[in-house]
A and B are shown apart, each in its own frame.
Chain A
Amino acid sequence: MPEIIVKFDDKVIERIVTEKKRISIGRTRDNDIVLENRGVSRKHAMIEFNDRAAIVMDNESLNGTFVNNRKITEEVLRDEDVITIGKYQLIYHTEHSQEHDTGADFDGTMILNTKRQKKLLENDRVEKELVSKYGGSVLLGEENAEFTEFRLDREVTTIGKAKFVHIKVKGFWISPIQAKVTNENGHHVLTNLGKKGKTLVNGEPVTMCNLKNGDLITVGRTTFKYVEGCK
């Protein structure tokens, strides 16, 4: 995936890895890359990605978009090209590098996913059907006598009562993010992140737990069954 490193005064302030086909850059928060400063237009520029190339386009911005210090309207990007917008420099990398020269405690890599499909599928199918359909592991939740399935196809799946978590649960002591399920080399690991409320596996409170097929996970008022996918 391509990576864009955002610098301000030669200091890395953010790293963005994207799988989007097109990303917008500008001052307002509806942009994918938000640059909140003078000299940046509301909708300043755009980068489009196709299989072969990335193209940066200036959106008739007031102060212009520069690639390697040359003013452009449209330009094909090469690895390590430097896009200058206002006081910011955006360094384009064709591939996201794992080697980060990050500052202390700063791992600001942000992944821009394509629109997350949040629509949850209604489900009353048998577990085998679920697994064969997805080929991956699933959390099967029972709430209000209605089964809901949650695919564990992300690196991290969050559970809690915040607006945006992947799996929302209710409960008085539940934290905004009460727990997370992480994919670690094909295995799923459940970690409790709750401050007051507990996360239970098969009735026992856990802080961190390797999930096995059929484990029952209780978060707040909801219990999920962990159904392991085909390996």
Chain B
Amino acid sequence: MRLAIISDIHGNLEALVSVLRHIEKQKVDKIHCLGDVVGYGGDPVGCLELISEHCDIKLMGNHEHAALGLDDTSDYNPAAKKAAEWTRHQLTDRAQSIVNEFEMSHVLDQILMVHASPYEPEQWPYVLTPEAALDAFVELKQKLCFLGHSHVPQIYCERDEELPRMQAGHDFLPDPDSRYLVNVGSVGQPRDNDPRACYAVFDDKEYEVLYHRVDYDIDTAQEKMEQANLPRMLIARLSFGR
């Protein structure tokens, strides 16, 4: 089985369409989505429709939670809060019903998929340090965990008696005897200084993880955000991948 795993689309339809076209050429069996389809970007409903149509497993992200009114946005930064409120008003009944069916996590044999972390997933912690990765490994029961949320493609490998090893995301063959957290990066708002959309492919026969970076029409995505009067900071960051 060959899986494309995407996450953190954040209402960026241009990025999502480019990624789905790229995935078409990768001969994958299924596409799974790790959440945060909405929030920040100008096209939340269009993204939800596409995700609903193309993805098999669909997970809940904190932005879906916020859009459904399940999450308190008081601790969001002002730009994120404004975007979350805007998104909530955009969601039609149909979009709401799509989001309602998203799962918090999904287990496929020896793989866990979750939006933020296996550790206190409902608190949406960021796995960006070996310490946070350790918390995640303590809770993780499977060999591999695919996650998103931080928008930074990263790989953490569990080690004996030491903190997990941290590497930037790159094509790799997981050691079958080791456990890994694999952050697949973000389709719609990358934050690793590379503005291109990011996703990963996992092949369980080759036992291989491949990262892909995809160019997309950033200008159009930004214009849509401007028309929606979304915060400038959120618009500008797409150009830099930060």
Contact = CB atoms under 8 A, between A and B. Distances in A.
A74 interface: no
5 contacts: A14-B167, A14-B168, A28-B175, A29-B177, A37-B172
A195 B168 CA distance: 27
B193 interface: yes
Interface of A: 6, 8-9, 11-14, 27-29, 34, 36-38, 87, 103-106, 108, 110, 162-164, 175-177, 193, 195
Nearest to A28: B175
A163 B174 CA distance: 23
B154 interface: yes
Given A103-B193, A106-B154, A29 B159 contact: yes
Given A36-B174, A37-B173, A195-B120, A103 B168 contact: yes
Interface in B122-152: 128, 131, 134-135, 138, 150, 152
A105 B128 contact: yes
Contacts of B135: 175-176
Contacts of A177: 131, 134
Given A34-B165, A104-B193, A13 B128 contact: no
Interface string B179-206: 0000000000001111000000000000
B171 A8 contact: yes
Which of B131, B159, B165, B167: most chain A CB closer than 10 A? B167
A6 B155 CA distance: 14
B166 A29 contact: no
A108 B167 CA distance: 6
Contacts of B163: 164
Interface of B: 120, 128, 131, 134-135, 138, 150, 152, 154, 157, 159-163, 165-175, 177-178, 191-194, 241-242
Contacts of B138: 162, 176
Contacts of A106: 152, 154, 168, 192
A34 B157 CA distance: 10
Contacts of B162: 164
Nearest to A110: B165
B189 to A, nearest CB: 12
A13 B177 contact: no
A12 B192 contact: no
Contacts of B191: 104-105
Nearest to A36: B172
Contacts of A37: 171-173
Nearest to B174: A36
B104 to A, nearest CB: 19
A190 to B, nearest CB: 16
State the 8 A-B residue pairs at the shortest beta-carbon distance, nearest first: A8-B170, A13-B168, A164-B161, A36-B172, A13-B167, A103-B193, A14-B167, A103-B192
B134 A176 contact: yes
Given A29-B159, A105-B150, 13 more contacts: A8-B168, A12-B168, A13-B167, A13-B169, A14-B165, A29-B157, A37-B172, A105-B152, A108-B167, A108-B168, A176-B135, A193-B131, A195-B120
